[in-house]
Structure 1
């Protein structure tokens, strides 16, 4: 049995969100294998760093939305730790600080493993990107100018979960970037943004009432759906082009099978009229994104 307080921290960490955050690391590692570069230590540390950043983000979101009153009885999704009284404001704030310290240690270890002492400026740039990732994880909902309340969450998710996560991971292995790698990076970014958009469509009414001006609140639900389909279509198009330029029409493109559940998801979303019904689709979309990255990881490591 997990003690009550420990269980509360696990609840606040929202471990179910980890597969989506790991997708960028898996895709970046898959691309490195495509270019014949592997490093087990970098892989493990990159996974741990991403887990740390995601947990920090979840703690901060719990704290930020709880303090602002956005997490209230109108919210459709699962209750947050602060909202449910499982953790206090002071406890969550302390948890955020501790997790930030752990993140900095992990980022430093990761960069020290990936880069040599002669690559000081590269180390410094990536350290800056790591600190920016910590800032982005916290400021989504925390602070007077929290960007999640101004409709900028989608942009930051696309940049950090997609481009930085995939291309940054690739660079840790290879110390170079390619235009070809941009296609899977945009794919993961678009799918991760779609997860956020789906979450915001689910919370449309409660967010609007609480003054959380997400992009969906600004667009409206109907346009939010169109935007959602554009994100999914962009992801599919990028991977089709990537497959055509690399593996071609062959069995080694089996990673494209991940778009089958995404197609089913698209059909379901198109028929939803009650925001409550978006909630079950969140897990399907997040796991489909993880499945795509995992299948690419398998394909590029073992079949190319």
Structure 2
């Protein structure tokens, strides 16, 4: 087994984005004096496994459906290049499904004990997350090819990721958490949108009707700016409603990073956009860290 090839297939550069929603949930829980390291680490484990599962399934599905062709602007995928066979990738997907279930069930038992109603509800959410990770590009009618990937990202990287993890700590939820959850969701869609703008031609040729394919590059750029502005505005509204100290506005220091990304998406050709997927993901993580630091400092000082 070529470890380097598998690590490339895992697409580790996508992990900061997956961790952002869990970090946001953890910071919100800490501000409510409900943070626990055991729950946090299990949340991270489950999320990383889900993200890798999604990446492997995406590699397999796009190769089968033809989106990963020689026209694709991004890095070559493992199945497309022949570095990993389709059968090996299918086996890896099954392994990671089992790992996700094991980590997720452990998380629920640690968080809820023997509260079976809560366990079954969150287990259902976990199973939906696994199905969403696979069905994005795999199957006869993958929803990513119908342009529904953005909605799925908003749900799982935003609402479920942030509000779900917050509930695992606190066993309660309020409407205020919806706003930072939307911030994470909008920024996560932004990462997907950069990817889809980069691949607009190869996706169109493969019959993958992503949002940029449907609305065209010019409107996809406008859509990208909307996502950036909506993510920042959601955080501003939350802070305005809950602010206890000036520290809670620290997240605004991340704004230039998003502006840099928006300008690059607006001006650079598709072939040069790949580095800005990672930059948008890191900008999101930095935003979350600053947002969380502001919450903690406002409580301590």
Q: Same fold (TM over 0.5)?
A: yes
Counterparts of 1:107-146 in structure 2, within 5 Å, are: 107-117=104-114, 119-146=115-142
Q: Is the 8 A contact 2:247 2:294 kept in 1?
A: no
What is the match of residue 43 of structure 1? 40
Ranges of 4+ aligned residues in structure 1 off by more than 4 Å: none
The superposition leaves residues 144-165 of structure 1 with CA deviations (integer Å, 9 ceiling, x where unpaired) of: 1100000000000110011100
Write the deviation string for residues 168-213 of structure 1: whole angstroms up to 9, x where unpaired: 0000000111111111000000000111011000000110011111
1:243–1:249 CA contact under 8 A, matched in 2: no
The aligned counterpart of 1:52 is 49
**Shift of residue 302 of structure 1?**
5.1
**By how many angstroms is 1:246 displaced?**
2.4
Please say if residues 58 and 138 of structure 2, whose CA atoms lie closer than 8 Å, have aligned partners that are also in contact: yes
| Cα distance in structure 2, aligned partners of 1:98 and 1:81 | 17
Q: Are the counterparts in 1 of residues 21 and 181 from structure 2 also a CA contact under 8 Å?
A: yes
User: Structure 2 residue aligned with 1:280, among 269, 275, 278?
Assistant: 275
Q: Is the 8 A contact 1:147 1:153 kept in 2?
A: yes
Matches within 5 A, 1:216-231: 216-231=212-227
How high is the TM-score relative to the length of structure 1? 0.95
Partner residue, 2:289: 294
Aligned pairs for 1:84-233 within 5 A: 84-117=81-114, 119-233=115-229
Aligned mates of 2:126, 2:151 — CA distance in 1: 17
TM-score, normalisation: structure 2: 0.96
State the Cα distance separating 1:130 from its structure 2 match: 0.3
Secondary structure at the aligned position of 1:78 is classed as: coil
Q: What runs of 5+ residues in structure 1 fail to find an aligned partner?
A: none
Q: Which segment drifts farther, 250-259 or 282-291?
A: 250-259
- Matches of 1:214 and 1:267 in 2, distance apart? 21
Mapping of 1:25-40 within 5 angstroms? 25-40=22-37
Q: Distance in 2 between matches of 1:289 and 1:85?
A: 33
Offset at residue 72 of structure 1 (A): 1.1
Name which of 14, 17, 20 aligns with 2:14.
Answer: 17
User: Larger helix proportion, structure 1 or 2?
Assistant: 2
Q: How far 1:249 sits from its partner (Å)?
A: 6.6
Q: Judge conservation of contact 2:18–2:157 (CA < 8 Å) in 1.
A: yes
- Aligned position for 2:255: 259
Judge conservation of contact 1:60–1:137 (CA < 8 Å) in 2: yes
- Find 2:239's aligned residue among 237, 240, 243: 243
Q: Distance in 1 between matches of 2:292 and 2:67?
A: 38
Deviation at 1:106? 0.4
Instruction: State the Cα deviation string for residues 38-67 of structure 1 (Å, max 9, x = none).
Output: 111000000000000000001100000111
Instruction: Give distance in 1, aligned partners of 2:30 and 2:294.
Output: 9
